[in-house]
Structure 1
Amino acid sequence: MNAPVGARAAAMGGVQAASARGAEALFQNPAALGRFEPESPSEAAAGYAALLETAYQGSAAYARPLGRDGALGAGFLHVSQSAQTGYNALGDEAGRFTPLDLAAGAAYAHRLGAFMLGAGLKLIRSSLSDRSGMTAAADFGVLIRHAADLGEGVLDVGAVVSSLGPPLKLGETADPLPLRPRAGALWHVTPICDAALDTVFPVDSDPYAQIGVEARLPAAALGSSKPWSAAVRAGYDQNRARGLDGLAGLSAGLGFDFAALRVDYAWAPMGDLGATNRITLAFRF
């Protein structure tokens, strides 16, 4: 459940504290749901990630403005892989099983001027062989738009604490949830270029940094009056690069936005282990 949700965030190195947007903000920073203002359309997004070997991640989210200063989001996340062979204490085969993690939840964000505050609640269920367990967790986030001027642009800052809750118990084993507080900034370098930096503070390992950039090409730049835009993204995740060779840690992706439809893609190499591929489709209505 630690893998980034949303192809845009994954392409930008996993940054999400201040750069989250769209319905996927439900999984990244619930405060960013506040970007859905009263005149904003609702959005439904679905994502799929082909992870390492046979593992995969699926997600769906819906977000909409609520009243004059609020926004609401709901969705679910599904992580699994192909059937695995189980073994008993003697090393003999003991049948096959499919590992499965599920999470479903909702979040609310409220705007107070430039400040956005968000909170969410989710249920998490995990199954492994003949053992399964369930727990609940909360997410809390804050986002400040235009917190400071930097050069020709402005700076947004954000912070989020996700998966705050009791351990998940499978049989007699209780495992703590992956608590990873993070803080970050999004610099609007120019009207068509953003740069983001997150610092993540896992409770079970050393802190690490993530950086990402996004350059957008509006249709007007090509002399077109059509309502579309394209984006090129790249990033680096210090944590993903640890212990791996080659291009591990780097990521790249593309985005296309046409009228009510948004498509995002991300590619992230994992050294000799292969690469992950993600796609997100979103529809505004």
Structure 2
Amino acid sequence: MDDDLFISRTALAARLGHAGAPWILDVRRPERFDASTHRVAGALRTLPADDAGRDVIVYCVHGHEVSQRAARELRAAGRRAWALEGGIDGGEPGVDDSAFIGRVRAEPLPVLRQRRDLGVSGEAPSRWITRERPRIDRIACPWLVRRFIDPLAEFHFAPTAEVLARAQALGAVAFDIPGAPITHVGERCSFDALIDAFGLQLPALDRLATIVRGADTDRLDLDPVSAGLLAVSLGLARLHEGDDHALLAAGLPVYDALYAWCAAEQRRDNETHTWRPA
């Protein structure tokens, strides 16, 4: 095999969760894609027309000819591209070596549940709408969608009384409002509900969800970082009062940074800051 062509599941997962992440391209044949219940987190079926030349990671079912050919074609066009080792299934029994299959499948792959009922197809941008004047949950949820569910998603804000009607008119998914498909359930907030709806299983996301929940539901005892998120969120709201889309744009890098911190905490390689002058 052309080893330089492949990227591992671990390396793929490490490159997600921020604005400069690679495009993830699902090149499974239509019948296999349509029959599947899952896809890799953030995967698209086609690259956007203006993709800014980002790196590309492609995958098929088993990591064989379909994804390898796509990756080579992208490289021939001058792109930095890789095929996911073993594909989404982690190799093919009877074709790939059993040791290879065991090694690949032992690595966690960030996948999400197919939710075409929520307008997330990987083939066209999804639409989402929530209440105006976002603060915490209504910034955290768009971040989660853009980084792990649909990087091309569109977001709309509306007065509370208009959200559900405008959702229907726009063909958008309402969130963080009673009666919406994605909203608070008991003590858990909309960010938790969104993770559950798409079956995302990433330890760093679990830590971030606790931080968001603490800040959003006035339970700052849940995580020592929650108070900091609350302060930064309210400060950003003051800086961008009256412009919800500007506030969203300013808030996304905050969650990029928090997720990177959470991931480093999981790996136990975060730096400390303990300068104590004599």
Q: Which has the higher contact order (CA 8 A, sep 6+)?
A: 1
User: Greater helix percent: which structure?
Assistant: 2
User: Greater strand percent: which structure?
Assistant: 1
- What TM-score does the superposition give when structure 1 sets the normalisation length? 0.27
